[in-house]
Structure 1
């Protein structure tokens, strides 16, 4: 089976929920979040994590970049959306399709980078805390 590597920038709370799921699935969207937005490249995910998540109280002032593989055949039903510059490509997965999306993740969701500020919250999840410590500079 062929896979495509996708990325998702997340804040601390979403990362904690991913960790609670064994790094195998993204949590359900909140009522005011009708779309799940994985992005097509790490550069774009890093930009969002650094510029958006680290400045957002709801994200715990932390930007975490995740990477994961998804069944390529499954993804063919979603058109890549360009939302700005050359690297600003993402998929728009309706919230009601997230369970199906999660079932097409192959392997686990990895942390590939994390950004912190002096306001960054700390997690009580020991496994996640250990993984995030690797990225503190």
Structure 2
């Protein structure tokens, strides 16, 4: 569900390093991808983001966070929804070289909605 008819709510499970970078960007953008990260993938539902943050990020970095943010819906139409598992395992795949443009279409701030340790 979105707070605005013109935006889509997305979630992103993240670890502490990426979250620190988001905070350094005033919670308005995602940091550039690392060389071994060709895709930025926000997810389309909170439950899936929770599972990744809790079950993967905590195991690999000691903490996991679920972030929520809004993106201009018309802009997102260029990215097909990818079903990468079960019926609710849905992601958008944003090529790393398009992340600056993606960030320019974020509406408001990226907020942390869950934290796991």
TM-score normalised by the shorter chain: which range applies? over 0.9
Residue of structure 2 aligned with 1:3, choices 4, 7, 10 = 7
Task: Spell out, residue by residue over 1:50-83, the C-alpha distance to the aligned partner (whole angstroms, 9 max, x if none).
Answer: 1100000xxx311000000000000001000000
**Aligned twin of 2:71:** 70
Equivalences for residues 42-121 of structure 1 within 5 A: 42-56=46-60, 60-116=61-117
Structure 1 residue 87 displacement after superposition: 1.2
Instruction: Provide TM-score, normalisation by structure 2.
Output: 0.95
Higher Cα radius of gyration: 1
- Give the distance between the partners of 2:54 and 2:86, measured in 1 at CA: 17
Deviating beyond 4 angstroms after TM superposition, the runs of 4 or more aligned structure 1 residues are: none
> Which 5+ residue runs of structure 2 have no aligned equivalent?
none
Q: CA RMSD in A?
A: 0.8
Q: Paired residues, what number?
A: 113
Higher strand share: 2
2:35 match: secondary structure: coil
